[in-house]
Amino acid sequence: YEIVLLPGDGVGPEVTRAARDVLAVIGDFYGHSFNFTEHLIGGAAIDETGEPLPEATRAACVAADAVLLGAVGGPKWDGGKRRPEEGLLAIRKAMGLFANLRPLQVSPVLAHRSPLKREIVEGVDLIVFRELTGGVYFGEKTRTADRATDLCEYTVPEIERVTRAAFQTARQRRGKVTSVDKANVMETSRLWREVVTRIHAEEFPEIALEHALVDSMAMHLIRKPREYDVILTENMFGDILSDEISVLGGSIGLLPSASLGTEGPGLFEPIHGSAPDIAGQDLANPVGTILSAALLLRHSLKLEDEADSIEAAVAAVLAAGAVTADLGGALGTRGATEAVIDAIR
């Protein structure tokens, strides 16, 4: 299996290394050979090549079986001609990654670390499907001295494919989809709601579908997060809501994500950022990236047992309190990674 590693910026390199070490152990144990190659993206790529997504990186990613990314960005590149984030947006587009999946489970062991009351968050088990290649992210932008514009656009096929992915996942879960839009204001949201309603009626009538407005959803996710199963939404709303939800579990450092296309490799990354303030100090929580590696095994390599094995090891380590400082533990990035590796063995 060819796996491309994109360490990126800030804590990216150390958490990517942690996940690679875990994958290597899994490879030995189950008898797979993972071939890792590292490529530049983001600020690190700007520093070396002037481009946030060099052509060599793009070519390697589309040819790989899967891609594991650390994080991009940091104040170092503020105000520069090119921005590190451009690299991330460009690789999503180049790989055709239209669905960003963010699963969230709040474990009873860590519920006490949530800013929310235990009775609200314990047992939360949801997954966000965020559309990733449309919306205001990729529409035309204009700028004059006095005025700026961003175009938000969606086509029917773009909405259909992420909608199908969300409904298919709901079938394997609790059978409920909540589609989020702003249909009382936006034309793209009215199209979104029409398409989701039609796909539901034609192809997934057995799934429970509800529509919610993004503003009230921002409330409901705090008041009653346990009610949600699959949350389906467009690019920008998904960006905001999935970050909002990410605090429910007590540490954003725990959370993985998968970005998938129709076929071809997926891209897997923790949802935390590059955290330049703690970079290189063995402080970053590697769990979000390690769990992203588990999603990589499951979604791109179809190695379900191997993915389960990583997830079980992480659960054991969290239950034992072998965690980094963001979770009140005493371990560093390396120590927490070793704990996961020991648990796998």
Q: Tell me the two tokens of residue 238.
A: 């998904």
Q: Alpha-carbon Rg of the chain, whole angstroms?
A: 20
Instruction: Establish whether 302 is a catalytic residue.
Output: no
Instruction: Establish whether 305 is a catalytic residue.
Output: no
| Binder among 2, 38, 65, 85 for ligand IPM (CB under 6 A) | 85
Q: Which residue is nearest to ligand IPM (CB)?
A: 85
Binding range to ligand IPM, per CB under 6 A, among 85-93, 158-166, 200-208, 291-299: 85-93
Output 148 or 202, the one with its CB closest to its own copies.
Answer: 148
Binding range to its own copies, per CB under 8 A, among 39-47, 136-144, 279-287, 330-338: 136-144
Could you tell me how far CA 111 lies from the centroid of its own chain?
Answer: 21
| Binder among 94, 218, 315, 325 for its own copies (CB under 8 A) | 218
Residue 103: strand, helix, or coil: strand
The pair phi, psi for residue 246, each rounded to 5°, is -60, -20
Q: Tell me the two tokens of residue 272.
A: 């935390």
Per partner kind, with CB cut-offs from 5 to 8 A, the member of its own copies, ligand IPM, none near residue 150 is its own copies
d(C-alpha 99, C-alpha 287), whole Å: 22
d(C-alpha 188, C-alpha 159), whole Å: 10
Of 86, 9, 6, nearest to 52 by C-alpha is: 86
DSSP characters over 245-309: HHTTTS-GGG-EEEEE-SSS-EEEEESS---GGGTTTT-S--HHHHHHHHHIIIIIS--HHHHHH
The pair phi, psi for residue 101, each rounded to 5°, is -105, 130
Output 88 or 106, the one with its CB closest to ligand IPM.
Answer: 88
Instruction: Establish whether 243 is a catalytic residue.
Output: yes
Give how many residues touch ligand IPM by CB under 6 A: 8
239 binds ligand IPM per the rule CB under 6 A:
yes
Give how many residues touch its own copies by CB under 8 A: 53
Reported as half-sphere exposure (CB side, CA atoms, 13 A), residue 316 has a value of: 15
Residue 313 and residue 322 in contact, taking contact as beta carbons nearer than 8 Å: no
Instruction: Establish whether 154 is a catalytic residue.
Output: no
Q: DSSP letter for 202, please.
A: H
* 250 is known to lie in a ligand binding site: no
Question: Could you tell me the smallest distance in angstroms from the CB atom of residue 144 to its own copies?
Answer: 9
Output 27 or 73, the one with its CB closest to its own copies.
Answer: 73
Instruction: Establish whether 239 is a catalytic residue.
Output: yes
- Point out the residues that are catalytic: 137, 182, 215, 239, 243
Known binding residues for NAD(+): 273-285
Known binding residues: 92, 102, 130, 215, 239, 243, 273-285
Binding footprint of ligand IPM on the chain (CB under 6 A): 73, 85, 88-89, 184-185, 215, 239
Binding footprint of its own copies on the chain (CB under 8 A): 73, 83, 85, 89, 115-117, 120, 136-137, 139, 141-143, 145-157, 182, 184-188, 190-191, 214-216, 218-219, 222-223, 236-237, 239-241, 243-244, 246-247, 252, 273
